[in-house]
């Protein structure tokens, strides 16, 4: 833990001089200077309680570097757990969460819990990792309505495509055969596809896994399989790229298309 760095950050945040901090906290200027230059490594608890109150932060902020980052904007109090620190970004997320409906809040919470579990399991190491895999909820040939997609957790073998992927999709159509046969599990990285890249696209309410053609004023979602038609993006159409395909993933858990 770098106590001096944390105190310096809070001093700058609040626009305080050492003298002003001394007046606010009741801690002598000389003592504060020793804390700020790192000369005092084990300050008295009473001293740090006064400093913490002056800055409006919990004492834990100065002692728990493994949990808290340097940035600190506000403290929150939870019954039976006491004070803890949250950043400006975390505060914004809490405000957004309050605006959601009960159903949306429950969905967000469950998703967050699942992602946390997946991350915890991934930290344990090993040759596999877990991802969300999206697939249609009933048989589809080419396009899939976004609202009909379902997600399930799958475990995939570790590889460059898996490490780069944020989620996975099960190839539901024959549009990219023979490169990606139906049922192939593909890793997908969030981001915008470039001309010639294969990605997951939403065109209106339909979603496709296709190769993007974007040249000479034309925009298409191209297939590899000539028996499946390309999709032309016309003026006024709303095309969104959900992600770029990173490659084929080897799933340890079976994926069954409807």
221: closest CA among 170, 235, 207? 207
- Residue 49 has a pLDDT of 83
Q: Where in the chain is the domain with CATH 1.10.260.40?
A: 3-94
175/231 Cα distance (integer angstroms): 11
- Residue 70 has a pLDDT of 46
- For the chain, 258 residues long, the average pLDDT of each consecutive 10-residue run is 80 90 92 88 80 82 51 52 63 84 80 70 63 74 65 87 93 90 93 94 90 93 93 93 94 65
Domain boundaries 128-248, corresponding CATH code: 2.10.109.10
183/135 Cα distance (integer angstroms): 9
CA distances 75 to 50, 51, 164, Å, are 16, 15, 35
* Residues 6 or more apart in contact with residue 97 via CB below 8 angstroms: 105, 108
Torsions phi, psi of 94, nearest 5?
-65, -40
Q: Which fold has domain 3-94?
A: 434 Repressor (Amino-terminal Domain) (1.10.260)
**How far is C-alpha 95 from the geometric centre of its chain's CA atoms?**
18
This model's pTM is above 0.85: no
For the stretch 67-76, pLDDT in tens is: 344 454 455 5
Strands 167-170 and 185-189 turn out to be antiparallel
Q: Which two tokens stand for residue 224?
A: 């590899």
**How far is C-alpha 93 from the geometric centre of its chain's CA atoms?**
12
- Residue 233 has a pLDDT of 95
* Residues 6 or more apart in contact with residue 135 via CB below 8 angstroms: 149, 150, 151, 152, 169, 170, 172, 255, 257, 258
CA distances 205 to 47, 124, 199, 236, Å, are 60, 39, 16, 14
* Residues 6 or more apart in contact with residue 174 via CB below 8 angstroms: 141, 181, 182, 225, 227, 228
């Amino acid at each position: 833990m770098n106590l001096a760095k944390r105190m310096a950050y809070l001093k700058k945040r609040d626009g305080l001089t050492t003298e002003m901090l001394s007046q606010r906290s009741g801690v002598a200027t000389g003592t504060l200077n020793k804390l700020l230059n790192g000369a005092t490594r084990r300050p008295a608890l009473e001293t740090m309680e006064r400093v913490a109150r002056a800055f409006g932060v919990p004492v834990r902020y100065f002692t728990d570097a493994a949990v808290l980052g340097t940035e600190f904007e506000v403290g929150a109090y939870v019954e039976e757990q006491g004070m803890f620190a949250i950043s400006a970004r975390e505060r914004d997320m809490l405000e957004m969460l309050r605006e959601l409906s009960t159903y949306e809040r429950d969905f967000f919470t469950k998703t967050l819990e699942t992602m946390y579990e997946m991350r915890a399991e991934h930290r344990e190491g090993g040759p596999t990792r877990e991802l969300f895999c999206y697939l249609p909820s009933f048989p589809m040939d080419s396009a899939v309505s976004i609202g009909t997609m379902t997600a399930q957790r799958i475990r995939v073998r570790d590889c460059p495509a898996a490490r780069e992927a944020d989620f996975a999709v099960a190839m539901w159509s024959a549009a990219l055969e023979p490169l990606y046969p139906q049922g192939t599990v593909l890793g997908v990285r969030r981001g915008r596809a470039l001309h010639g890249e294969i990605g997951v696209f939403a065109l209106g309410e339909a979603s496709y896994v296709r190769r993007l053609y974007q040249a000479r004023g034309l925009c298409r979602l191209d297939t590899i399989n000539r028996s499946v038609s390309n999709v032309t993006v016309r003026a006024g159409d709303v095309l969104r790229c959900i992600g770029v395909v990173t490659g084929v993933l080897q799933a340890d858990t079976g994926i069954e298309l409807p």
